[in-house]
């Protein structure tokens, strides 16, 4: 009986979960041993019962202790073979043949594989239990295993195939439906993008990967400018259509591995694994050019570089980009502001005072990045970049 789940690469069950899966099958085996105490008793019964107990104990131990997910195909059939050996020993303890009454136990590994195994393992298990019934007829024969028992073998094989196939199909269908429900729960119904719930699952994973691999991670919040006014002027249907078109156009402008999610309303969250400040600016510029209907957006961005063994807080990241987005809208919209820019403003005020810092931010003599060369969103004057029709242009 294989502990492998139906899905191609299932998560390994916990010991407690595996025990709960195994318990009903163990109870059936215990009942079988209890029935062995009833008459008639056969010579050598104790010896066969001891062998059966050893085989069943081996089955349970291997299911609980062996890391089957790390082994190749075929290995999960070892518990099935041990279980079949245990049933064969029980049959011998009761005199063998159809009168022993233990043949129905061979349905248990079929049910187990249908519930927790793969299709080919189920098929091989049906063959194994059929061979367990057929082998004594071929090798022993005589009055205990007459040729007439071939009917039992045939009917058992058909029954096992039908029962196992139906259970397997039901389990597979249930897994598919659950996966569809999970996918729908993680998708925004209007845009088809991942929703807030899905984002809250994805961001911590991306942070963990970036910290482990020592790669930068850029995160942005994007807000369509004046969307409420557009909605009021053109109607909610037109507003929904704009959100759909923006989501579709932006998704096509992303790199492989980037994640765009609907954060809520007209706000979208953007995850850029491996992107530093310049790479993030290039991606956001492509999104700006792809925005439908000549619309613009404001964005708050952060580029995080994580230190080894220093815990990262995804909630803090989202709070910081939310503040940067608010600053972008406060400064006139149609621009991006980075968290690093805001931190620079704070440092400037601490060193020079608010009046001097404000003069520095508005000075026209500061160097401005050229849009054609992929501007760095951290080097813009006014600590922000205005989103112009031809790309990202410095705000004045």
Distance, in Å, from the CA atom of 130 to the CA atom of 12, rounded to the nearest integer, reads 30
Q: For residue 143, what is the DSSP state?
A: T
- The residue written with tokens 């009046």 in the block is 355
Mean pLDDT, rounded, for 318-331: 94
196-394 belongs to CATH 3.40.190.10? no
- The residue written with tokens 């239990």 in the block is 129
Say if residue 20's pLDDT is above 90: yes
The more confidently predicted of residues 239 and 396 is 239
pLDDT score at 70 = 64
Cα→Cα distances 26→36, 57, 60, 115, 384, Å: 16, 10, 8, 16, 67
Query: Band of the pLDDT at 220, cuts 50, 70, 90?
Result: very high
* Three-state DSSP class for residue 277: helix
Distance, in Å, from the CA atom of 200 to the CA atom of 206, rounded to the nearest integer, reads 11
Rounded to two decimals, what is the model's pTM? 0.62
Say if residue 202's pLDDT is above 90: yes
Q: Which residues lie below 8 Å from residue 193, measured CB to CB, with a gap of 6+?
A: 187, 247, 251, 260, 261, 262, 268
Q: Which residues lie below 8 Å from residue 147, measured CB to CB, with a gap of 6+?
A: 137, 141
Mean pLDDT, rounded, for 276-296: 94
Question: What residues pair up with 385 in beta bridges, in sequence order?
Answer: 336, 394
Is residue 340 within 8 Å of 302, Cβ to Cβ? yes
- Every domain of the chain and the residues it spans: 15-185, 196-394
Query: Band of the pLDDT at 71, cuts 50, 70, 90?
Result: low
Number of Cβ atoms within 10 Å of the Cβ of 193 = 23
Spatial CA neighbour of 216 closest among 276, 271, 172, 157 = 276
pLDDT score at 69 = 62
Say if residue 135's pLDDT is above 80: yes
Distance, in Å, from the CA atom of 127 to the CA atom of 110, rounded to the nearest integer, reads 10
User: Is the preceding peptide bond at 40 cis, omega within 30 degrees of 0?
Assistant: yes
Q: Give the DSSP letter string of 61-121.
A: HHHHHS-GGGS-TTGGGHHHHHHHHHHHHHHHHTTSSGGG--GGGGHHHHHHHHHHS-HHH
Q: Express each pLDDT in 356-368 by its tens digit.
A: 344 334 333 333 3
Distance, in Å, from the CA atom of 221 to the CA atom of 261, rounded to the nearest integer, reads 10
- 131 Cα distance to chain centroid: 39
pLDDT score at 231 = 92
pLDDT score at 395 = 37
Opening angle at CA 84, ends 79 and 86, nearest 5? 95
Q: Express each pLDDT in 241-277 by its tens digit.
A: 999 999 999 999 999 999 999 999 999 999 999 999 9
Query: Band of the pLDDT at 229, cuts 50, 70, 90?
Result: very high
The tokens for 351 are 């060193």
């Amino acid at each position: 009986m294989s502990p492998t789940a139906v899905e191609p690469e299932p998560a390994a069950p916990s010991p407690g979960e595996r025990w709960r899966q195994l318990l009903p099958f163990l109870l059936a085996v215990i009942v079988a041993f209890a029935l062995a105490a009833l008459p008639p008793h056969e010579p050598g019964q104790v010896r066969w019962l001891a062998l059966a107990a050893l085989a069943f104990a081996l089955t349970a131990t291997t299911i609980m202790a062996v890391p089957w997910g790390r082994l190749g195909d075929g290995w999960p059939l070892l518990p099935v073979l041990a279980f079949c050996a245990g049933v064969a020993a029980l049959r011998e303890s009761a005199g063998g043949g159809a009168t022993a009454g233990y043949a129905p136990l061979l349905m248990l590994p079929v049910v187990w594989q249908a519930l927790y195994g793969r299709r080919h393992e189920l098929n091989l298990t049906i063959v194994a239990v059929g061979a367990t019934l057929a082998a004594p007829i071929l090798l022993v024969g005589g009055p205990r295993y007459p040729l007439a028992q071939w009917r039992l073998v045939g009917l058992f094989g058909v029954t096992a195939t039908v029962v196992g196939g139906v259970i397997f199909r039901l389990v597979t269908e249930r897994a598919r439906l659950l996966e569809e429900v999970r996918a729908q729960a993680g998708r925004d119904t209007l845009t088809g993008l991942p929703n807030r719930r899905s984002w809250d699952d994805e961001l911590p994973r991306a942070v963990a990967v970036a910290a482990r691999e020592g790669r930068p991670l850029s995160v942005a919040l994007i807000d369509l400018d004046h969307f409420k006014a557009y909605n009021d002027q053109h109607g909610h249907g037109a507003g929904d259509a704009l959100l759909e078109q923006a989501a579709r156009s932006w998704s096509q402008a992303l790199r492989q591995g980037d994640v765009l999610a609907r954060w809520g309303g007209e706000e979208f969250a953007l995850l850029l694994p491996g992107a530093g400040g310049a790479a993030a600016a290039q991606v956001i510029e492509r999104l700006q050019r792809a925005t439908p209907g000549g619309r613009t957006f404001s964005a708050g961005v952060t580029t995080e570089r994580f230190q080894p063994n220093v815990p990262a807080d995804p909630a803090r990241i989202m709070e910081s980009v939310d503040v940067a987005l608010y600053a972008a809208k406060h400064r006139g919209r149609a621009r991006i502001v980075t968290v690093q820019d805001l931190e620079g403003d704070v440092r400037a005020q601490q060193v020079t005072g608010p009046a001097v810092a404000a003069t520095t931010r508005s000075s026209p003599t500061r160097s401005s990045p050229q849009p054609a060369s992929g501007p760095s969103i951290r080097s813009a004057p006014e600590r922000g970049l205005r989103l112009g029709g031809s790309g990202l242009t410095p705000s004045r």
